[in-house]
A and B are shown apart, each in its own frame.
Chain A
Amino acid sequence: SSEELNRRRVYFQDARKRQAYLNSFSTAPQSAKYGINQFSDLSQKEFRDLYLRASADRAPHFSGPKTEG
């Protein structure tokens, strides 16, 4: 429907703004790039509700020797 199309257009425009912000941190050549992909016409809530459904059980800290920091 045209209502749905308009909503998707707004989400797409929001994504473009979000991507511009994210890319403003990507200065080095190998840095991550953010842009249009198959999720660009989803709202952030739709994306979370559909794709970010995992939970992590608390795991014990690895007991080997510290090698960083």
Chain B
Amino acid sequence: LPAKFDWRDKAAVAPVRNQQACGSCWAFSVVGAVQSAHAIEGSQLEQLSVQQVLDCSIKNEGCNGGSPVRALNWLKQTRVKLVPQSEYPYKAKTGICHFFSQSHDGVAVKNFAAHDFGGQEEAMMGQLLEHGPLAAVVDAVSWQDYQGGIIQHHCSSQWSNHAVLVVGYDTTGDIPYWIVQNSWGPTWGNEGYVYIKIGGNICGIADSVAAVIL
């Protein structure tokens, strides 16, 4: 494994977005992983519709919350194509699902792999390199006050409540850390990103991790 790796350097990560007052982090993490996987395959990086996942993944609860794995199951089973964000813009409210024909341009998910990497964060690095950015669920209670730097304390595992996108890691300094894109806008944290110490499953970063296969 390289000592540091960041999918942003490969132009495979879309800019940080803002979920606003809607519990849609689960949809942002899944759509982030899909749009990155699409770019890694060789397509132009394009923002895909979070609102489509929010409205149409009916086993989740829209702005009232959801699970990335459930959303990926829905994408895999229905083979629904995610359309560009410009065609189905984000409204920060759950709405009625808009259907598009199968001939409409979009990105479909063939499969996904969800694992618990507790105690195996190096293997998680390998998964990141192999498949692209990973959708993960974390404990983000202390993130209400986060301003920047590497989180090493005040973050439990097994009490997950927030979904994010792991886009890279850096082990070259004194404290190795994950580079994690959040969906609370670019003014939060490190320009919208949070750094989490690697090892010890800080914030439960390794508890439930999904890689997308297109």
Q: Which of A's residues lie within 8 Å of B, judged by CB? A: 15, 18-19, 22, 25-26, 28, 30-40, 42, 44, 47-48, 50-62, 64-69
Residues of B within 8 A of A53 (CB): 23-26, 61, 63-66, 161-162
Contact of B174 with A by CB under 8 A: yes
Q: Which of B19, B23, B150 contacts A31 (CB 8 A)?
A: B150
Closest residue to B145 on the A side, CB-wise?
Answer: A34
Q: Which of A28, A51, A54 has the most CB of B within 10 A?
A: A54
List the 6 closest A-B pairs by CB distance, nearest first: A53-B23, A53-B65, A52-B161, A56-B208, A56-B137, A67-B122
Give the A-binding residues of B (Cβ under 8 A).
19, 21, 23-26, 29, 61, 63-70, 114-124, 126-127, 137, 140-142, 144-154, 160-163, 173-175, 184-185, 187-188, 195, 199, 204, 207-210
> Does A39 contact B116, Cβ atoms closer than 8 Å?
no
**Bound complex: CA A44 to CA B142 (Å):** 9
Q: Can you list 26 residue pairs at the A/B interface with Cβ under 8 Å?
A: A26-B149, A28-B174, A32-B150, A32-B195, A37-B146, A37-B187, A38-B187, A38-B188, A39-B144, A40-B145, A44-B144, A52-B23, A52-B140, A53-B23, A53-B63, A53-B66, A54-B160, A54-B163, A55-B160, A57-B69, A57-B70, A57-B208, A58-B116, A62-B117, A62-B120, A68-B122
User: Shortest distance in angstroms between B135's beta carbon and chain A's nearest beta carbon?
Assistant: 10
* CA gap between A49 and B199 in the complex, in Å: 29
CB pair B64 A60 closer than 8 Å = no
Closest to B115 in A: A62
Least CB distance, B110 to chain A, in whole angstroms:
19
Q: Tell me if B150 and A30 are in contact (CB < 8 A).
A: yes
Q: Is the CB of B144 within 8 A of A42?
A: yes
The residue of chain A having its C-beta at the shortest distance from the C-beta of B139 within the complex is: A52
